[in-house]
Amino acid sequence: DYFNLIYMRAHHIPVEIARTSRTIIREMTEKDLPDMYELYADPAVARWTEPLYAYDEELEFTRAYIDNMYTFYGYGLWLVFDKKTGELVGRMGIENRSIDGVNCQELGYLVGRKYQRRGIAYEVCSKIVEYAREYLYIDRLYACIHKDNIPSINFINKMKFKLYAKDIDDMDIYVRQLDENK
């Protein structure tokens, strides 16, 4: 597995992270940018996220992200595709964020409008939590959500995250302990 991973990284082949009953979760590539722009173009979908850069800048950012984030940490924001259609469902995964001056891992998720309210975010994020615990040995995940983003707050509560800190720069911070022994 390790040599296969090295080969894939050296040849810029995206690593498949996991599959769920309806989706494939994999690393992004430069070729995915047009689909990502389409996903982020919907203001209702991307309302609570940072926008993508102008194309050339986003392309450079994506190249650096692939080379640094995926290669160094073994995680990042991944793309989620519909198994049947191959269509981009969303972008979900694990990011680094400084919380209380410590580098922590944060669960992030963005789901296209067509795929919302179908349980896909729960299905995929549950798989990501499992992956974080079993393969990355992460013992806790955080979620930082704008205090007015009620659908996301409801979702993160469903994912068994608990409130950690309230109204920090308009964000509420949630945490989920993954190591069940603690």
Strands (E), the chain: 16-19, 23-26, 77-82, 88-99, 102-111, 140-146, 162-168, 171-177
| CA–CA distances in Å: residue 9 to residues 40, 66, 121, 143 | 27, 9, 27, 28
Q: Which two tokens stand for residue 180?
A: 């069940």
pTM of structure: 0.93
Q: Give mean pLDDT, residues 24-30.
A: 97
Q: Is the pLDDT of residue 179 over 80?
A: yes
Q: What number of helices (H) and strands (E) belong to the chain?
A: 6, 8
Could you give the percent of the chain with pLDDT greater than 70?
98
Q: Which two tokens stand for residue 43?
A: 């203001």
Q: Give mean pLDDT, residues 98-127.
A: 96
Q: Is the pLDDT of residue 164 over 80?
A: yes
- CA atoms lying within 13 Å on the CB side of residue 86: 1
Closest residue by Cα to residue 40 from 32, 31, 50 = 50
Query: For residue 6, what pLDDT is reported?
Result: 86
Exposed (0-12), middle (13-18) or buried (19+): which is 173, by Cβ within 10 Å? buried
Residue pLDDT, tens place only, 130-152: 999 999 999 999 999 999 999 99
Residue pLDDT, tens place only, 31-85: 999 999 999 999 988 899 989 999 999 999 999 999 999 989 999 999 999 999 9
Q: Which single residue is written with the structure tokens 């994506």?
A: 62
Report the side by side order of strands in the sheet with 162-168.
Answer: 16-19, 23-26, 77-82, 88-99, 102-111, 140-146, 171-177, 162-168
